[in-house]
Each structure stands twice: as C-alpha cells, then as structure tokens.
Chain A
Amino acid sequence: MMATTWTRPWFWAFAAAALAFAATVVLTGVQGAGGLLVAALTFASFSVLVGLGQMAVITMGPGNVDLSIPAVMTLAGTLSLKLMGGAAGTELWGLLAALGIGLGAGVANYALIWLLRIPPIIATLSASFVFQSVAIWSNRGLRIKPPVSLAEFSTGSTLGVPNAAWIGLAAALVFWMLIERTAYGRRLSAIGQNARAARLAGVPVEGVRAATYVLSAVMAALAGFLLSCFSGGAALNMGAEYLLMSIAVVVIGGSSIAGGNSNVPGIWGAALFMFLIVSMLNSYGLGAGVRLILTGVIIVAIVVAASGRRLTP
C-alpha cells in the first residue's frame, strides 16, 4: 500500500471538489465563499448519509445495489412528520419512528432477496414501489411542518459547522470504524472479493447481507428524516435525486463498483464535489440542459480516469 496522499482513491474526489469550489469563488467573489461552503456541507451530508449505506451494499459485489433508497427516505420522512404532527416534545419519537421504518424496510428488502432468490436490484425495486405507495397514501398532499426545535436544529450550526454536517461526519466516522476495525467490515469486504471463498472460510454470508441491507435502509430513513426537517416538510418526490446520487458518490469516492473495496472518506469528497459542481455550473449562468450534460460528462470522465489509475499500479 502506497503511503503518499495523492495515490489514495479519495484524494481525487476532494481535489475535484476543491477545484469546483475555487472555480465558483473566482466568479462570485470571496464574500460568497462562506455561504457556499455552509450550503455545500449541508447538502453533501444528506448525500453522505445515503451514500454510506449504498457503499456498504455495493461492497458486497456485483448485483448488490439498493434501489429502494428514495422510497425509504420519502416513507420515513412523511410518516415520522405525520406522527410528530409538528408538536414539541415528540422529537425523539419521530426519530425512533423514522429509524424503525428504515429497519422494517431493510428487513422487507432482505426478506424478498432471500425468500424469492431474486437479484437485489429487482427485489429492492419492487419493494420500493410498495414503500412509495404507502408514502403516497399516508401523505395525501398534506404538508405537515416538523416541530420547531427540529427545524431549527437541522438548519442551524454549531461551532460554525452546520448541524447536518456534524451528523454526516459522525456517521462517516462510525462507518469508518465499522468497515476498517470490526469483524463485520472484514466479512463485508471478504464477501465482495469472493462470496464463495468467504462462505468456505466460515463467514456467515447471509447474516452479513441481511445486516447490510438493513443498515442501508436505516441510513436512508435517517437521511429522509433529516431532509424533511431541514426543508420544512416531507414531499413525495424528495428522495428522487438521491438514487443516482447515492451510487455516484460511492463510485466517484473511489470505492470499487465491483465490490470488495470500500472507501469512507471518498464519500464525503464525492458528495461535496457533486454539490459544488452543480453550483459552479449554476454560477456560470449555464442553463439546465448544459448543466446536466456537463454533470454527466464529468461523471463519465472521472470513472474513465479512475480506472486508468487502477490499471497502472
């Protein structure tokens, strides 16, 4: 393993994010830099939360991907806000309800994968249809505001860093410990590198898979809860952009899409980059069409560049 910083897979994600940040600040002037940084940290933290869960799932190797993330976010957001009803003193129950919904959704996802022996893509896809339906049914066009305390917390800052970013950082730290320092993390990587070898070596493959799908859904639920508090209410399409986002941050962050190798710091770098690139293109006054095209071209270019690095050790 090379020790120099620039050979680390996560370095490029942060470098690209810094570049996008600099390019924006050059145009908008230094006075806008602080605000841009706060916005980037806040919005990136939502992507980080779902990205960490997706990363654990993708680490298990080809075919493993969680397509139910947007639906779980929406379901957790709508149901928990409905339960709290905007009243003070219900915050803890709301959070627990959201996490419980994540737990239930994760168990349902894994039950489908295991019982029906179907590819996770199809299992999480069909389950997400059901989750989305429940969210639509429970929402009925209502827009319930979160309790004031939660709205203030999720939009506020501590020590100059947005609270959402603190949660994102804490989650990243927990995931780093989990992946790098626990038996679970070792088993997860082992499954991704060679599921058959892992099974023969005595890794409880199905148990680890179950735990990982539950973990991903719980992270999605947490992100949905935070996002709906942050934006002053849950919306039925609030999770939509996070499906592509969760996969994109995993890959741009330097985790292997083929599994077996995950990278926690890279998730943060990639999430910052994904937000900053859009604000950069925005500040240069480009229309929605050009912005989309450039975002796509940049994602493909990064993947091509990253693969080149791996081919030449």
Chain B
Amino acid sequence: MRRMDLRLLLPTLSLLLLLGAVFWMQPRAMSYTGLNLLFNLSVPIALATIAQMLVIMVDDIDLSIGTFVGFCACVTATFLHDTPLLGVLILGAAVAAYAALGALIELRGLPAIVVTLGMSFVWSGLAVLMLPAPGGSSPAWITALMKARPPLVPMAIIACVVLAVVGHLLVTRSSLGTLLRAVGGNARSVSRVGWSVVRLKATAYGLAGVFGVLSGMALVGLTTSADANIALRYTLLSIAGVILGGGEFTGGRVSPVGAVIGALTLTLAGSFLTFIRLSPDWQIGAQGVILIVVLAARLLVRRRAVR
C-alpha cells in the first residue's frame, strides 16, 4: 500500500503545483466560477481516462476510445434526445460490442492495438452516418446535471471526486478489480486457478465501454451538441493521463485516483498555457513539454525511493 501512496504523491504534487501557478497568475481563478471554468472539460476526459485505464489494466491498449466517445456523444445528441428508449438500447449495444471485442481479443490472441485501431474506423463511420455535420442537441437532464451549481464546490470537482472514489472502490478494493488486475499481472496463473480469462477480459472491456458512454454523455452535456470528430484527441489524452497518474502499461499496475488526477493535470495544463498568453502555435508543444517534465520528475522521485 505504501508504494501506491508514493506513486500517487507525484501526480498530486504536479497538479497542485500547476494549480498554484494558475492562481498566482490569475488570482480571480481562485473562486467558484474560476474553478468551474478551469475544470469544466475535465469530467469527460477523466471518464475516458478511466475507460483507457481499465483496458491498460488487462495489458492491452485502446486506440479507439476517442472515436468511441465521439460515437457515444453523437448517439446522446440524436437518439437519446429524440427517442430516449432507442438511445439507451444503442448505447447498451455499444457496451456489449466493447465486451465482445475484449472476449474476441483474448479468445483468438489478437493484438488489441490493431483491433481497436480498426474499431476506431467503425465508430467514427457510425458517428458520421448519424451526424454528417455538427449538430444534435443535449437531453435536458444531462445538461442540467453537468451545468448544475451545487453550493460551495463546483460540479466538475464533485464529479471528479466521485469518479475517483468509484474507480478506487471498483478497481483497487473490490474482488472483481483484484481479479482484473491479476489478469494484467499474470493471465496464465489466473486461468490456472480456474477463472475464465476470456470472461474477465470481456468484463474489463465492457466496463471500459460503460465509462466511454458516460464520457460521451458528459461531453454532450457540456457542449450541448456533438459531431463525429468531437473527441478524437481523447485517445492520446487518455493514454497520457493514465501514465501521468502513475499507471504502467504492463502488469496491471494502475491507479484510478491517479488516472483522474492525470486527466485533471492535462486539462489544467491547457488552461495554464492560455493564462500565460502563450502563442497558440506553442500550446501543443508546451503540453508535450509539461508531460516530459512530469515524467522526468517521476524518474527522479523513483530513484530516490529506491535508495
């Protein structure tokens, strides 16, 4: 447990440092509205990061999560708004498809990176069919939920804390989560004990699908409309978020709390760069540099911990 605590220390510190820098530069951000603006877009990114984390947990990687979130956003903005029952059915089928993919990947020993790459075409194709041009509208209850103004703490922060707690209970505390992490650690020994690795992988992918659906719904709640390419960058952001949060690509070593913090850090990095009036030309590059700096810091901390 202590090693996990140490693993979380650095993502938390980098988030606080970045937050401190933003406050120092723009003290007015230190308010209810300011915080809400800073972290607003982090909710769908955090949900997508948790989805990615669930796949990385079983030693795979999901290159389709961005287009999948875009697909779910399009379903939310069209079917879920116009004919809620049909919308729910479609989203349910999408989750089932995710679970089936997980089973297929394990059953035939397929490379997840390529299967999800292929699926990314499928999801974006389906999204383009639904919404050839940006449009649709958000179901009222989702907008109401996403734009709610609870007292004292902004909605975005409450949502992220709830997500981190749910993720922690699901992945780190529950027996299912332990089993799933064991699949990432050593799938062969899990199957020798008598568990079906196919079923476990299907569960992990299915759960990833659920969080992907939630991410798409949250995104539409914020933007009030959708288009097929709305979440393309989520694929890379989610991978970066998992790694920033202390997760690793192999061995089932992941941290849901860390993943949420990683997603928050990436969102905040974007806002921070706007605050320092960095030329838009350099914004992407600076995000890359922030990623590199955090990872370099992690290396230094680990070296010290080993000593």
Contacts and interface: CB of A to CB of B under 8 A. Distances in A.
Contacts of A130: 285, 288-289
A154 to B, nearest CB: 28
A278 to B, nearest CB: 11
A93 interface: no
Nearest to B279: A137
B125 A308 contact: no
Contact of A295 (B104, B121, B282): B121
A257 B114 contact: yes
Interface in A260-297: 287-297
B113 interface: yes
A156 interface: no
Given A65-B113, A291-B125, A296-B125, A116 B108 contact: no
B9 interface: no
Contacts of A67: 236
Report, as a range, how many residues of chain B touch the other chain.
35 or more
B22 to A, nearest CB: 20
Interface of B is mostly: helix
Interface residues of A, number: 49
Contacts of B117: 244, 247-248, 299
Nearest to B287: A129
Contacts of A136: 281-282, 284
Contacts of A121: 61, 239, 249
Interface stretch (B30-38, B212-220, B291-299): B291-299
A231 interface: no
B120 A296 contact: yes
Interface in A294-309: 294-300, 303-304, 307-308
Interface in B125-158: 125-129, 132
A137 B126 CA distance: 35
B111 interface: yes
Given A122-B240, A247-B113, A133 B285 contact: yes
A291 B110 CA distance: 24
Given A112-B292, A118-B295, A293-B126, A258 B111 contact: yes
A185 B241 CA distance: 35
A80 interface: no
B250 interface: yes
Nearest to A112: B292
A126 B110 CA distance: 27
Nearest to B108: A307
Given A63-B249, A116-B299, A136-B284, A300 B291 contact: no
B128 A292 contact: yes
B41 interface: no
A292 B228 CA distance: 12
Interface in B171-215: none
A112 B294 CA distance: 12
Contact of B125 (A116, A133, A244, A289): A289
Contact of B291 (A126, A133, A140, A311): A126
Interface string B253-292: 0000000000000000000000000010111111111011
A308 B108 contact: yes
Nearest to A118: B295
A217 interface: no
B118 interface: yes
A299 B118 CA distance: 5
Given A133-B281, A247-B113, A296 B119 contact: yes
A140 B110 CA distance: 43
A289 B243 contact: no
Contacts of B120: 244, 296
A127 B236 CA distance: 13
B115 to A, nearest CB: 6
Contact of B128 (A247, A288, A303, A304): A288
B288 A117 contact: no
| Nearest 4 CB-CB pairings of A with B | A133-B285, A129-B288, A296-B121, A292-B125
30 contacts: A63-B249, A118-B243, A122-B295, A125-B236, A125-B239, A126-B292, A126-B295, A127-B292, A130-B288, A132-B284, A133-B283, A133-B286, A136-B282, A137-B279, A137-B281, A247-B113, A251-B111, A257-B113, A257-B114, A287-B128, A288-B132, A289-B127, A289-B128, A291-B125, A293-B122, A296-B122, A299-B121, A300-B118, A303-B111, A304-B104
Interface of B: 61, 104, 108-111, 113-115, 117-129, 132, 236, 239-240, 243, 248-250, 279, 281-289, 291-292, 295-296, 299
